[in-house]
Amino acid sequence: MVRRHFKEIDKDDFKIIYNTYVRPHLEYCEQAWSPYLQKDKTCLEIVGLQRTATKMVKGLKKLPYEIILKRLGIYTLERRSLRGDLIETFKILTGKERIDYKKFFELADATSWLRGHSLKSYKPRCHTRLRQNFFSVRVINEWNKLPQSVIEAPSVNAFKNRLDKYWSDMGDYS
């Protein structure tokens, strides 16, 4: 539809159109059904037409995909899925969701988080590949890597902003 109506679009128009019409359909309830096979992730990236759609932006057609993402200030679908997981983890662990965090996470005691932050979690052993993709398991490594300054955000929006700033400071858009 976008291609039918626009030959070329600028960065601002692309972000509005993509964020309004495409992303909500791709990311709906993704924390619950998150695909874990690489072929499924690749399929979603293609179906989402993110690679193709980003080439429509004026002046970016011949650049590599990673550079286009950086210039547009957007993440891959896989990275946005991780971002959603981290946001949901933040909401659960800080009591912003009406869910008992103990059903999902086992927090490390105060003496074991000398490095990292105060909401560090233990990662349970998984004996099956399927179990490794459960929300409460797949998010722990990335959650534990975050600095205290991101974790101590007073609100969900502050957490999102601090997480995005942390990733952009690291130059990580993939």
**pLDDT tens digits, one per residue of 29-68:** 665 566 666 777 677 666 555 677 777 788 888 888 788 8
Residue 156 pLDDT class (50, 70, 90 cuts)? very high
The residue-averaged pLDDT of 97-113 equals 75
Q: Where along the chain do its domains lie?
A: 2-74, 79-169
Q: Answer yes or no: pTM beyond 0.85.
A: no
Q: What is the pLDDT of residue 86?
A: 92
pLDDT in tens, 75-104: 777 788 888 889 999 998 888 888 888 787
Tokens of 149: 């300054």
